[in-house]
Amino acid sequence: MTAIQKIKGTNDILPDGFGEEIFRSSLWRFAEQTMTDLALRYGYAEIRTPIFESAELFIHSVGEETDIVRKEMFRFTDRGERDLVLRPEGTAGVVRAWIENKLGAHDPVSRLFYHGQMFRAERPQKGRYRQFHQFGVECIGGADARHDVEVIMLFWDLLQTLGVKRIRLEINSVGCAHCRPQYREALKAHFASSLDGLCADCRERYDKNILRMLDCKNPACQEILCTAPAMTASLCAVCAAAWQELQARLTALHLPWTANPRLVRGLDYYTRTAFEIVHDSIGAQATIAGGGRYDGLIGASGGADTPAVGGALGIERLLLAMQSESRTPPAAPVPEYCFILLDENCESQLEEALYALRARGVFAMHAEGSKQIAKQMRAASRLGARYAVFIGGDEWQAGDVLIKDMQSGAQKAYPVPPCGLAAFLLEHFFGETMRRIERGL
Ligand code: HAM
């Protein structure tokens, strides 16, 4: 049988030394740990929602006329005839869980973060996959520009912490239910005479949801669409004040923002603030993070009217950005001790010491795979072990254990005390650790 291959647009995240650099598990662990630490430091608590939910949830939240709902959902019917979707984004599920579990019962503001797989049936290319990963935050109950800035700052801070510097912050206001009808009318009037030059999708959106037209990726359409009037010129007084406040707060925090009047985002739930963080050198899929305010979503989803703001970052795109700026994660831990078995009769002593060290939190390995010492030594060196510990042989028979420093090559035989090899190695380990600390290593 020919070996089965992974599905197009999905990726394996592999141990170091295999596959593409951005799909190494050490890098992912480092990025996810950094995100988690940072989100916790901003007061966000972790939430994990199911990877599949009812189709209705996404159609209702993301919007029927969006590309995500029209073309990109992995939708299926299960054995119970339920209409289900592999989640294309995280906000809808978090909002559902927030309402269902009454997460807003105690605090006026719920700060939640998540990371995990998302699924969109897009045409795969660099930075665009069918299964991809997001890190997202939702600040539910956060009513004003202070919360918008908190969310934007969190993503900015994360990128700075990970050494990603060549980024731009773009912001816009997409208004609210009061001022958007006027903007729709302004757009209709503006494009009435140029409809023939637009694609079939755009012409359909002109009638059904004209704001979505601005989101069209077709280059010929973009040339026409870029002449659209700015939404910020049609804002109502309340949205205009919030838009001014957002700009003032970002400026006060020295965040270098630019206003992008055509930033509408690909999801329908946004009100007022929309933002994206774009990287200059990761290719066509340059938006690393995006989000905004969604004050109407919770009320429209069966919850009490609650303002909210959030955002999500694409982890693959983040790692591409780190790669393009030559950022590497700290080196992965290496084994302190690697056991080399010289005599098979001593295997049980080796195993006992191995598990006793691990039980005390010491990284220990057995360089297995061959009876030959040279091969075991090569395996120990590939693992990057600090010390090789020889089990068996003449010294062992004489009651000693031979330990080789893999860096200097120096080796020394130590008498094994009556309390046993593991206890001796633990003492050796703590002695070595103390010496390293004293030398500031
Ligand atoms: P989004 O802009 O659709 O927003 O996705 C956020 C990020 O996910 C994008 O900026 C991008 O980095 C990454 N991304 C999206 N699609 C793909 C793909 N096919 N392959 C690789 N990466 C991708 C949302 O999903 C909103 N839920 C964000 C949000 C949270 N708004 C409020 N709260």
- Site of tokens 């191995």: 354
User: Which residue's C-alpha comes closest to atom 21 of ligand 1?
Assistant: 128
| Residue bearing tokens 């957002």 | 246
* Domain spanning 337-434, CATH class: alpha beta
Rounded Cα–Cα distance for residues 205 and 66 (Å):
9
Give the mean pLDDT of 254-278. Answer: 94
Could you identify the atom of ligand 1 that is nearest to the CA of residue 277? 10
Q: Which atom of ligand 1 is nearest to the CA of 289?
A: 10
pLDDT confidence of residue 212: 86
Q: What percent of the chain has pLDDT over 90?
A: 84
33 vs 230: CA distance, rounded Å: 39
pLDDT exceeds 90 at position 349? yes
Q: 23, 74, 114, 118: which to mutate for ligand 1, most atoms within 8 A of CB? A: 118
pLDDT for position 361: 94
Q: How many CB atoms lie within 10 A of CB 75?
A: 16
Ligand 1 center from residue 294 Cα (angstroms): 15
pLDDT tens digits for 303-330? 999 999 999 999 999 999 999 999 988 8
Radius of gyration of the chain (CA): 28
User: How many whole angstroms from 1 Cα to the centroid of ligand 1?
Assistant: 38
Tell me the DSSP string of 130-174.
SEEEEEEEEEET--SHHHHHHHHHHHHHHHHHTT--SEEEEEEE-
Ligand 1: centre distance to CA 241 (Å): 27
Question: Would you state the structure tokens that stand for residue 338, as one six-digit string?
Answer: 């690697």
Per-residue pLDDT averaged across 59-83, rounded? Answer: 95
- Relative to the CA of 267, which ligand 1 atom is closest? 3
| CB-CB contact of 64 with 91 (8 Å) | no
- 21-179+235-324: CATH topology is BirA Bifunctional Protein; domain 2 (3.30.930)
| Least confident among 88-102, 178-192, 245-259 | 178-192
pLDDT above 90 (res 435): no
Given a contact cutoff of 8 angstroms between Cβ atoms, the answer to whether 136 and 114 are in contact is yes
Ligand 1: list residues with CB < 6 Å: 89-91, 120, 122, 128-129, 132, 134, 136, 138, 266-267, 287-292, 294, 310-314, 316-317
Give the tens place of pLDDT for each residue, 83-141: 999 999 999 999 999 999 999 999 999 999 999 999 999 999 999 999 999 999 999 99
d(CA 27, CA 33): 10
The stretch 357-363 carries a mean pLDDT of: 95
Cα-based angle 280, 15, 315 (whole degrees, multiple of 5): 30
Show me where the domains of the chain are located. Answer: 21-179+235-324, 337-434
For residue 354, what pLDDT band results from cuts at 50, 70 and 90? very high
